[in-house]
């Protein structure tokens, strides 16, 4: 299994694949993933230039462990097949399909990846896929999209295009995105996949940004698409377990193991009732803390 399928992706930062000032060293900000964009950040008459710049960035820059996702143009455009060839030739880590509407879209991308992998001698399975859902149809088909391919690690809501399709707009209240967020996280979890929230474009409203990140964390999301380095610290703070949470999770894991051996099913930890149902959540907190580099215990 490709270990990247389940890697930590709290922050996934977009940047224009054509802009040298952005692609040369984004790893200094330490996002979990960068998303080199060939789609909407690149003007229609600059697609070739962006692919050329992307290829050289992938080949020559050491991104120091930051995941290199490339957002390709949608399947309704003339660009996506050539985008995939460049992604594979440059050996990116993952491909983000924009405007995904169905399982067939994912399978079409995978088939095109296979062709390019044969052409460039790249092992099938080494490059993963994620799907951006940007329309009502895409959101309605979230489960079939999430289960379309074993190479697909998750889906992401793309709120700008989605709200256009819904015939509303981003209001800042979250009301217009509520249904999509809820149905996507349920679909992704039912499929055993990760789920990511859409960008927050008002760079000066850090309080609003924090509130949104806190809300999507509570809903169960794994992370958020972001557009600027100043959004990274808050995202990581919210998505990294606190010391208090880690200590409690450790106690739960150890106590459940200990009590199970003694034949005890229900007991208390720090005044809270605990039984086996709390075990997976506590384990997940420890795994998240390990992946985020903040775990110092012995589990
Ligand atoms: C709806 C959608 O489709 S979203 C996806 C497509 N959109 C994008 O890709 C946009 C990504 N973001 C950006 O291009 C920029 O952040 C902008 C245009 C929004 C704002 O740019 P700026 O006003 O220059 O931002 P800011 O002043 O905060 O930049 C500070 C530093 O961070 C760098 N930076 C800003 N955004 C990014 C980014 N996304 N990735 C890497 N570095 C970045 C700047 O180059 C600058 O570096 P410097 O200090 O060495 O000069
Ligand atoms: O994926 C995102 O969040 C950005 C995007 O394309 C959209 O909002 O339409
Ligand atoms: Mg979009």
Distances (CA, A) of 220 to 46, 78, 136, 210, 254: 37, 36, 21, 16, 24
Q: Which pLDDT band, with edges at 50, 70 and 90, does 1 fall under? A: confident
Kindly report, residue by residue over 12-39, the tens digit of the pLDDT. 999 999 999 999 999 999 999 999 999 9
Kindly report, residue by residue over 266-277, the tens digit of the pLDDT. 999 999 999 999
Mutation to probe ligand 2, out of 15, 130, 132, 168 (largest number of atoms < 8 A from CB): 132
Of 14, 27, 42, residue with least CA distance to 225: 14
Q: Is the CB of 16 under 6 A from ligand 1?
A: yes
Known binding-site residue numbers: 71, 134, 161
Taking residues 147-155, report their average pLDDT.
Answer: 98
Query: In this structure, which ligand is nearest to the CA of 40?
Result: 1
Q: Is the CB of 11 under 6 A from ligand 1?
A: no
Q: Which pLDDT band, with edges at 50, 70 and 90, does 80 fall under? A: very high
Taking residues 167-181, report their average pLDDT.
Answer: 97
Q: What ipTM score was computed for the predicted complex, to two decimals? A: 0.98
Q: Which pLDDT band, with edges at 50, 70 and 90, does 264 fall under? A: very high
Q: Is the CB of 239 under 6 A from ligand 1?
A: no
Taking residues 41-70, report their average pLDDT.
Answer: 98
Q: Is the CB of 227 under 6 A from ligand 1?
A: yes
| Smallest CA separation from ligand 2 atom 8, residue | 160
The overall pTM is greater than 0.95: yes
Kindly report, residue by residue over 187-211, the tens digit of the pLDDT. 999 999 999 999 999 999 999 999 9
The C-alpha torsion from 238 through 239 and 245 to 246, rounded to 10°, is: -140
| Smallest CA separation from ligand 2 atom 2, residue | 158
Separation CA 261–CA 263 (nearest Å): 6
């Amino acid at each position: 299994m490709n270990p990247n399928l389940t890697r930590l992706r709290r922050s996934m930062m977009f940047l224009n694949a054509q802009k040298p000032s952005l692609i040369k060293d984004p790893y200094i900000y330490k996002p979990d993933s960068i998303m080199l964009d060939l789609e909407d950040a690149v003007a229609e008459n600059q697609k070739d230039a962006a692919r050329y710049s992307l290829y050289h960035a992938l080949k020559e820059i050491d991104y120091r462990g930051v995941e290199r996702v490339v957002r390709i143009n949608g399947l309704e455009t003339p660009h996506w097949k050539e985008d995939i060839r460049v992604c594979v030739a440059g050996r990116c880590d993952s491909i983000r399909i924009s405007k995904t509407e169905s399982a067939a879209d994912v399978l079409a991308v995978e088939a095109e990846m296979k062709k390019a992998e044969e052409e460039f001698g790249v092992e099938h399975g080494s490059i993963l896929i994620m799907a951006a859902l940007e329309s009502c149809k895409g959101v309605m088909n979230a489960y079939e999209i999430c289960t379309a391919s074993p190479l697909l690690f998750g889906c992401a809501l793309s709120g700008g295009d989605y709200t256009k399709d819904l015939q509303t707009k981003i209001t800042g209240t979250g009301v217009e995105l509520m249904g999509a967020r809820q149905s996507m996280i349920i679909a992704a979890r039912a499929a055993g996949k990760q789920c990511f929230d859409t960008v927050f474009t008002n760079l000066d409203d850090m309080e609003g940004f924090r509130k949104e990140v806190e809300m999507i964390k509570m809903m169960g999301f794994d992370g958020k698409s972001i557009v600027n380095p100043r959004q990274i610290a808050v995202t990581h703070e919210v998505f990294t377990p606190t010391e208090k949470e880690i200590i409690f999770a450790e106690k739960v894991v150890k106590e459940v193991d200990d009590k199970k051996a003694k034949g005890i099913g229900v007991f208390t930890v720090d005044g809270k009732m605990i039984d086996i149902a709390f075990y997976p959540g506590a384990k997940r907190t420890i795994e998240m803390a390990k992946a985020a580099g903040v775990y110092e215990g012995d589990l």
